[in-house]
Amino acid sequence: MNDWPLLDKYGLTPIPQRLYWLLLLLLRPYLSWVLVLTLPPQQKDLLKLFYPQQLDFIVACCIALPVLFVVAALTQRSDKRSKAWRNMWRFSQPVLLVCCVADLFYTLYDLPADAILDAPWRISTVVALGIAVFWLLRSKTLPTVFKEWPEPVSKN
């Protein structure tokens, strides 16, 4: 039985599926914004369901802004791209951890007293962010994933 993980087509450790779920969790202000932009004008108040105050939405977008750079670096992780995104990719785990902790603290700070009755999805968000922080701190695969970058293919 092999002790090493299966490698992707570039010979690198594959990106865990949980990382994609984490990115979706951290980018939820931008995803909700896109969702609201695609809805008809009469349903534009849907954003107030997730972010009752406009300041809440703006702060959530600011907290998630560095995660957009991580996603951009992830999209450039191929052998045909330049190494310009390599440094961003290497520092992505601490960036994700800081964003996740900041999001967790802000979500807890902004949590209303009656959230369990009024907005139970906010409790699930707190739980998911807590699990994400624990995973970012304890994962043995993520440091390897963030150290690797595909080498360009030589044309010889």
- The mean pLDDT of 20-36, rounded to a whole number, is 93
Distance CA 31, CA 38 (A): 11
Reported as a single tens digit per residue, the pLDDT across 49-58 is 778 788 988 9
More confidently predicted of 100 and 35: 100
Task: Please give the span between the terminal C-alpha atoms of the chain, in angstroms, as a whole number.
Answer: 36
Can you give the pLDDT at residue 111? 77
Reported as a single tens digit per residue, the pLDDT across 63-121 is 999 999 999 998 888 766 667 788 888 899 999 999 999 999 998 887 777 766 666 77
Q: Which two tokens stand for residue 9?
A: 């087509």
DSSP letter (8 states) at residue 41: G
Distance CA 17, CA 99 (A): 19
Q: Which two tokens stand for residue 132?
A: 């994400």
